[in-house]
Structure 1
Amino acid sequence: MKVDWKGVYPAVSTQFRSDQTIDLDATQTVIDNQINDGVNGIICLGTVGENCALYPEEKRQVLKAAHEVVSGRVPLIAGTAESITSAAVNYMQDANKIGIDGCMVMPPMVYRTSDTETVDYYRALANATPDMPIMIYNNPVSYGVDVNLEIMSQLAEFENIVAVKESTTDTRRITELYNRFDDRFTVFSGVDDIALESLMLGATGWISGLTNAFPAESVAIYKLASQGRYAEALEIYRWFLPLLRLDTIPTLVQCIKLAEQVCGRGSEQVREPRQNLKGEARSQVITMVEQAIATRPDLSKYNL
């Protein structure tokens, strides 16, 4: 599949049983429901998918299950988060064999690479998987490495590095990317609570966490923004914003999975060392989601 890099791509959750084993059937159901609700693509094994909490063989199992259920309906992108260059190469080559349509690649995990090391890391992956479209995942806030404009200028020579998930939280970076590279890279917003602002500045897509709980509303925001109907998009966005902020805190995975559960779309179970939310933190998220359900906008009035 040639990836159509636009629209809403949820970073879907990986479903676990209470004994910490992966529930592949439930994970497929989560993905299938997202596609049926109109999302434009699927990000499997991103942060919300708990990539770094899975063994290597488990990652391949999840990718195979995702590929089976997606069945070519939308682009399927594999989150790539490894601490060793050779491990990332092996993972991406395996993803290619499975039939994954592209990889969203973070800088090396744990060790904070220098600019030179970051360029060399992406160069090695691009050279090793020339047929795999690559999206750079730039999230210096959480992971300490900024894939800055100078790095992107060096990565521009690789034809298969085609997109960037921009998660600096600084919306100015989107304009800077377009000013520097025109349309060389497709730009996605990667921060839920600046999604509409990012779309207004030219981002062509949104990689989202809270879409796991509210896909229809997320897709509506994107469609309205893409049509220039910003005032209408803002109506939904203002309703959504309190929940979108859950995507920006350290317990974002637990919050999003709990929101899924309250909405009847998945289980809150996470894999240790993460722990399910407890006490006041859990109650607050449940209250927020229930309030959102009770006040959710009537999407039919937008004639989408």
Structure 2
Amino acid sequence: MINFIGTGVALITPFKSDLSIDYDALQRLVEYNIENGTDYLVISGTTGESVTVTTEEKKTLVKFIAKVNSGRLPLVLGIGGNNTAAVISEIKTTDFSNIDAILSVSPYYSKPTQEGIYQHFKAIAEISPKPIIMYNVPGRTSSNMLPETTLRLANDFENIIAVKEAGNNVHQYLELLRSKPDGFLVISGDDDLALGVALAGGSGVISVIGQALPKEFSEMIRLGIAGKAKEAYSIHFKLMPITGLIFSENNPAGIKAVLDALNISKSHVRLPLVEATDKLKKNIEMAIRDLGKS
């Protein structure tokens, strides 16, 4: 069993000006992360604009990233939704030969009860050929998977190995850390809270900003997991401005603007998202200069 401890990054999907996938930029991004300390890569998450990537594009992305990665880092694939049967169908028809785990979001839009959320993940766990990282992000799903539901699933299914918690709720993180079974991973999905979660006993982060600043962010998380708060917070304070900026309009427009400023990929996004405003791009460029990255 691979332990997803440290810094995972939710990869963007780079686009050209015609909004086709920019595979040259994607290769640069993957290599950049591998070379600078990222611990694992997450494909087809929200940051990857999964809702506007077609089924065929998703298959091609997985194959391409797996080829570039060439077994160097663990790979996590996002497969989730609010139609349980469709999620199960996708899992059953997916080639997992290069994938180490599934990241599956708690059902969105439908706003199921806690029992509905439990039964959704139970159904997935019963057929999944790979370990499952559940993903709780109430700001996007309009439904909070409560700690008691997460812990019930963690205790009932050995192949549910972790939760990516992104409710920006410190108390909820602490309740999970206090009560989780041995070996179950609590992974931060909030870049701004990731260090505090690591210091409190969390297993790390699936980060957005981390893919642009992998050396700094992954070192911060390593220090946090090791309990070296003073050293870790010295990095955290330096990263605070850029971390705040990338979420000020929408994700992934902010992180794409950062990667554009770093000459890794362009800032194009697919509708209904729009690119970061000129004001945000300028603020991001200044923040990058302040970090000595320009």
Q: 1 CA distance for matches of 2:278 and 2:70?
A: 40
Alignment of 1:187-202 (within 5 A): 187-202=186-201
Which residue number in structure 2 is paired with residue 35 of structure 1? 34
Structure 1 residue 209, shift from structure 2 partner:
0.5
Separation (CA, whole Å) in 2 of partners of 1:58 and 1:35: 23
After TM superposition, list the pairs within 5 Å mapping 1:95-134 onto structure 2: 95-129=94-128, 131-134=129-132
1:242-253 → structure 2 map (5 Å cutoff): 242-253=241-252
How does 1:37-52 map onto structure 2 within 5 Å?
Answer: 37-52=36-51
Once the two structures are TM-superposed, the CA of residue 165 in structure 1 deviates from its matched residue by 0.7
* Structure 2 unmatched runs, 5+: none
The answer to whether the aligner puts 1:171 opposite 2:167 as a matched pair is: no
Deviation at 1:249, TM superposition (A): 4.0
Aligned to 2:91: 92
Q: Is the 8 A contact 2:247 2:254 kept in 1?
A: no
Structure 1: gaps (5+ residues): 296-304
TM-score w.r.t. structure 2 length? 0.93
- Greater shift in the superposed pair: 231-240 or 60-69: 60-69
- The answer as to 2:273 corresponding to 1:274 is yes
Instruction: After superposition, give the CA deviation of every residue in 1:124-173 in whole Å (9 maximum; x if it has no partner).
Output: 111121x3100011111232121112212431311111101111112222
Cα deviation digits, residues 221-258 of structure 1 (max 9, x gap): 02222332211111111000111123544512101011
Superposition map of 1:145-224 within 5 A: 145-155=143-153, 156-224=155-223
Deviation at residue 101 of structure 1 after TM alignment? 0.7
- CA distance in 1 between partners of 2:141 and 2:57 (Å): 23
Within 2, Cα distance between the matches of 1:65 and 1:90? 23
**Equivalence for 1:62:** 61
CA displacement at 1:96 relative to structure 2: 4.5
The corresponding residue for 1:300 is none
Residue 41 of structure 1, CA deviation: 0.5
1:173 aligned partner, one-letter code: Q
RMSD: 1.9
Query: What residue is the counterpart of 1:26 in the other structure?
Result: 25
Post-superposition offset of 1:98 = 4.2
* C-alpha distance in 1 between matches for 2:246 and 2:22: 23
* Larger mean Cα displacement after TM superposition, 208-217 or 258-267: 258-267
Q: Aligned pairs, how many? A: 293
In 2, are the aligned partners of 1:9 and 1:40 still within 8 Å (CA)?
yes
SS at 1:192 equivalent: coil
- 1: distance between equivalents of 2:249 and 2:95? 31
Return the alpha-carbon distance in structure 1 between the equivalents of residues 147 and 233 of structure 2. 30
Per the normalisation by structure 1, the TM-score is 0.90
Q: Is the 8 A contact 1:192 1:248 kept in 2?
A: no
* 2:291 is aligned with 1:292: yes
Deviations 1:243-281 (A, max 9, x none): 112354451210101101111222211112211123323
How do 1:3-18 residues align onto structure 2 when only pairs under 5 Å count? 3-18=2-17
Segment of structure 1 superposing worse, 167-176 or 42-51: 167-176
Q: Is the 8 A contact 1:191 1:248 kept in 2?
A: no
Kindly indicate whether the alpha-carbon contact (under 8 Å) linking 2:14 and 2:265 is maintained by their aligned counterparts in 1: yes
- Aligned counterparts of 1:247 and 1:194: Cα–Cα separation in 2: 15
Matched residues in 2 for 1:259 and 1:162: separation? 32
Cα gap change, 1:260 to 1:44, in 2 (>3 Å): same
Q: Structure 1 residues 250 and 160, CA, compared in 2 at 3 Å: closer, same or farther?
A: farther
